[in-house]
Structures are given as C-alpha cells and as structure tokens.
Amino acid sequence: MSTSVAVIGTGYVGLTTGACLAHLGHRVTCADIDAAKVAALAEARVPFYEPGLAELVREGVAAGRLRFVLGGAAAVDGADLVFLCVPTPQADDGSADLSYVEAAAGSIAATLRPGAVVVNKSTVPVGSASVVERIIARDDVTVVSNPEFLREGSAVADFLRPDRVIIGTESAEAGRRVAALYHSIDAPVLITDPASAETIKYAANAFLATKISFVNAIAAVCEAVGADIGDVIRGIGSDRRIGPDFLRPGPGWGGSCFPKDTRALVSIAEQGGYDFRLLRGVIASNAEQHDRMVAKVRQALGGSLRGATVAAWGLAFKAGTDDVRDSPAVAIIDVLLAEGATVRAYDPQAVIARQGLVQVGSALAACEGADALVVLTEWSEFLGADLDGVATRLRTPVVVDTRNVLDPPAAAAAGLTLLGVGR
C-alpha cells in the first residue's frame, strides 16, 4: 500500500529515509530550507557520500515517487505521515539542542492535514514528543517517535534490513499506521511509549560507544602484558552473550552521533538526578585513546613531532563515508600539527583544510618524503596497499596502524616497522 509521506530535512537521515521509503513504493516529498541543496537533489545530485544512496535518489526521482521542495509547509500539504529529520546538535552544556526540531514543527503546524501523524526520526531527548505536540497544538495530529539506527557508510542497508523497528506512541492507530510503512521489511516491530522509544536510541548508541572503548582499553592491557588483541577478540567475541560486532580496536569513536549522544545521555541522566559516572568514564576514555595514538606516532619518530613530516591515511571518522565530524583521525592530526609536524593526508572521500596539512590524491603520494605513516581510517583500499611502495617512499620505514588493517608479516617483508594497537 502506497502512503503519502513528507520528510523534513535532507541530511544523512532525512535523505536516506526519503529515498528508501520511495524505493518501498511510497510517495515521498522531502523538504529543506537550503534552496541550492533542494535544486541539486531535484536533479538527483546527492551532496554527500553514502554508498547506494545516490542510486536510490535517482531511481525515486525518475519514477516520480521522490520529489524535493523548499520549506516544510510545501511538503506536508496532503501528507499522511510527516518525518522530522533535522539536526539535534550538542548545546554548550552537553544537552541536545532542539531548536531545529522546534522550528521544523512550527513551520508545518498550520498546514498539516487533519489526521496526520508527525514522526520524530531525529535523535531527541526524552520528552521531545511532548515538546513537538505543544508546538503543533492540534488535537487532530498525533506525534510519534520512530528513532533511526542508521550507520554512516551502510545507511541504505540499515534502513532496508534493520534489526528492529521502534515506534513510540500512546495511540494504537498511529502506531499501526507508522508500522504499515515498513510492511515489506522483514524485521520485528516494537511499539512502546514515546519516552521509552527516545531512551532506546540513546541507550543503544551509548552501549556501542562503551563496547568500543572497552575493547580499546583491553588492547592497552594486551600491550602491557604481551597478549594479542586479535586472539582476545576472537575469544570473547565468540561468546554469544558478547558477540563480535564493535569489538575492534582503533583510534576511538567519533562521527555525528556517538559523541553528541553520549554527552546528551549524561545530561538527560543529570536532569533526572542520576550521575552517569560510567558513561562519563567512557567519554573520557575515548579522548585518552586519541592521546595514546599520538603517543605511538611520537614513539615512531623518536619522541618529538617538531619538524617531522607525517603521512596520514584517512580523514573520515570511519570507512564508507566522507563525514569528518568529531573524527578521531582529524583529532589526532590536529595534535600532530599543533606539536609542529607537517601532515600529508590521503582519504578517498573526505576533505579537510588545515594549516600545515597537504591533502594528496593517493595513498602512496602521501608517503613521499614522510618520516612516518599513520593509518587512521579503515578504508578497504588500505588493506591491499603496496607496502613495498610505502617503504621506498618513506624516509624512515615506520608505520603506526591505529586500525590494525595492515598485515604484520607483509609489512615485515617490505622492511617496515609496524606499530599496531593491542599487539
């Protein structure tokens, strides 16, 4: 059954939601306040990198099921369901800033059709459904929470093949209507109250961040006692109670979600009178992981970064995206620059601008004349890198692999000294 849907906001979440719903056969109108972005999307030009998304946008536009308009009011006229997919950035006190959500709700309140369901897809703190209800102030409109669980780099697959669909509402009818959107998706649907749905999203992200920080801490223990983190991960990840996902050491977590959502959950807990010391410790541990990786680069360079040239592979916070928001790679590079190094960086998708940083067009070009190489993002092309070529281009054949993507025997055969994480 085809439903008329409006999506307010065309960032990672909004555009993925709109394109995937159109792919499922629904009639979707996406709105944004950026005229240039709307014009580009109307021509099926996606302004950021997300695997598979551009193809779905082109498919939806060509089929007439996906269109783009300027402003929320133009999108919601006649829509049965309206998704709010706008940013919730971190405020100065660590809480989630709801100003974009509030503005979006206010912009559509008067033009919503009677019986419409407004769906909070943005990551919002507990009580946000009530905030939107007060702004819309209409008895004939229902507000529902339907949090997203999309990973950048695999957002399309995550939408179309989710582990679960969470719907938070006090209205059985509204819950049924939102669930019907996903009728062709094979996934369990959990309908709960709005507060629980809003908490589920934050709890999931906080747990995953905790899992990453835990394995990074275990990697540090492995280095201290001479254990191998790879074997340790295989040993604990084979336990079904733990599982192997997110058990991979690295330079720390980042991106548009984990940093702000962990801090927001700490703030939510504080507002409720609970000191979430565990999660505060996870946040602090993640910052310390950046410091540990910088220390490895210093070690590779004999103790000082001043005057050194460092090749850096990776800028994005993870592979499969061009997103550099709160990227551990960028955080580490910033320290290298601050301590007097020059950085030659390569990333197949991401771009940043920094004084003292030169961005080049290939992984090997980054190594030309560098005193050391640091691998910061786990792009698949780095797994099969020409390590002999790396060795001949580096002034000193030393590599700090913060992602453990390079093969130690192959590195040794190329004459490289390899410093990994947890081994």
Residues forming the active site: 257
Q: Beta 372-375 vs 309-313: how paired, if at all?
A: parallel
- Residue that is written with structure tokens 């910088």 in the block: 294
CA-to-CA distance for 351 and 129, rounded, in angstroms? 36
C-alpha separations of 242 from 234, 247, 283 in Å? 11, 9, 21
- Output the six-digit token pair for 334: 């910033």
- Output the six-digit token pair for 220: 């540090």
Closest CA to 115 of 92, 137, 141, 79: 141
- Output the six-digit token pair for 342: 């020059």
Q: Which 3 state secondary structure label does DSSP give 361?
A: coil
Q: Beta 66-70 vs 81-84: how paired, if at all?
A: unpaired
- Output the six-digit token pair for 77: 């006229």
Closest CA to 364 of 351, 381, 342: 381
Q: What angle do CA 262, 268, 273 make, to 5 degrees?
A: 125
Q: What angle do CA 114, 12, 383 make, to 5 degrees?
A: 155
Contact 398, 300 (CB under 8 A): yes
